[in-house]
Amino acid sequence: MSAVTFRPSGRYDPGLYEPGPNEPGPNEPGPNEPGPNEPGPNEPGPNEPGPTRRVWQAQEAASPRGMDRLRWAFSDVRVLTWRTLTRIATTPEQLLNVTVLPLVFVLLFSYVFNRAIVLPGHGNYRDYLIAGIFAVNMGGTAQGAAIGLAVDLSTGLIDRFRSLPMSRATVIVGRTLADLVTTLVAATVTVVSGLAVGWRIHAGLVGLLLALVLALLFAYSAAWAGACVGILARGPESAQAVGLTVIVPLSLTSNAFISTSSLPAGLRDIANWNPVSVLASACRQLLGNPDPAAAIHSWPMQHPELASALWSLTLLAVLAPLAVWLYVRRTRR
């Protein structure tokens, strides 16, 4: 039994407490208390991670890695592509440039300019024309991407995307893939209307598939060019104006509608290296249609399939990283 000393006033004096033989002293831990160098019941041991370390490990375990990150990126792209396509149901006039415009081009040049334009060698102009309109429609993908991305930026939709845990590149990829799908509509309208006015394919299935692959590859690279324009533009009207300023001269200074053999020397060289001319010549040769440009001594006209693939891949390699960089810089403002 320990002795407890009281002051004369009768109050307990903790300084005069004397522990018994089996009781801890004033500076010693009790039987159920940790020592000075021992962790408490809620404290980590010397070889255990602290609370900050445990939180960091939990966050690291929860963060996506490897295939999970790739899977989420594909899922984001799919959702954003579908979101862009479903908007067409509410604003069907977006399909005018991929349905009515190709039809107008086919009918206008087939019946109005058919006898006014004479090809070298007097080939069938309608067989010559459709591949050119096909190439022009693929280049027109740029304007759709530019306007669509400019609309999303101006309406504040991109600001809402920034608050989501998603890669910023997926926004542009979803936009360009949606425009590629709508370009397939333009290609279908061009082929069907061309067959209706007398155009024919004089090649096998392999040539048709190769022409389609080259066309879609060029269309996708053009969509990334349009994405750059849409990010830099201050609004949809500016994006549309810039798109027309580029697409119209690019289409008219090509062999899409006329043969470049009658052009002046300097302009002819520009037209022969024009990516629209290269794609049109590649499609004509793959589909067995007349191609007077094959007689021109210019490397793109002598090897249009290879030149078209190189044009598209080079544009993709340059414009895709540029568009992502411009998008990141624009959304940080």
Q: Burial of 220 by CB count in 10 Å (0-12 exposed, 13-18 middle, 19+ buried)?
A: buried
* Euclidean distance between CA atoms 121 and 281, whole angstroms: 16
* Euclidean distance between CA atoms 236 and 220, whole angstroms: 20
For residues 94 and 177, membership in a common domain is answered with: yes
Whether residue 52 is contained in a domain is answered as: no
For residues 189 and 315, membership in a common domain is answered with: yes
What is the 8-class DSSP label of residue 262? G
Give residue for tokens 């007097």.
122
For residues 166 and 37, membership in a common domain is answered with: no
For residues 21 and 112, membership in a common domain is answered with: no
For residues 12 and 137, membership in a common domain is answered with: no
Whether residue 98 is contained in a domain is answered as: yes
Whether residue 61 is contained in a domain is answered as: no
Q: In this predicted structure, what is the pLDDT of residue 225?
A: 94
- Nearest CA to 109 out of 76, 134, 75, 74 is that of 134
Q: Which domain holds residue 2?
A: 1-43
Whether residue 260 is contained in a domain is answered as: yes
Whether residue 50 is contained in a domain is answered as: no
Q: In this predicted structure, what is the pLDDT of residue 279?
A: 95
Rg (CA), the chain: 35
Q: In this predicted structure, what is the pLDDT of residue 24?
A: 55
For residues 102 and 9, membership in a common domain is answered with: no
Whether residue 143 is contained in a domain is answered as: yes
For residues 287 and 234, membership in a common domain is answered with: yes
Does the pLDDT at position 3 exceed 60?
A: no
pLDDT tens digits, one per residue of 196-244: 998 989 888 899 999 999 999 999 999 999 999 999 988 888 888 888 8
Say what percent of the chain tops pLDDT 90: 33
Rounded to 5 degrees, φ, ψ at 3 are -95, 135
pLDDT tens digits, one per residue of 151-197: 888 887 777 777 777 777 888 899 999 999 999 999 999 999 999 99
Whether residue 57 is contained in a domain is answered as: no
Number of domains in the chain: 2
* Euclidean distance between CA atoms 68 and 74, whole angstroms: 10
Q: In this predicted structure, what is the pLDDT of residue 274?
A: 93
Say what percent of the chain tops pLDDT 70: 80
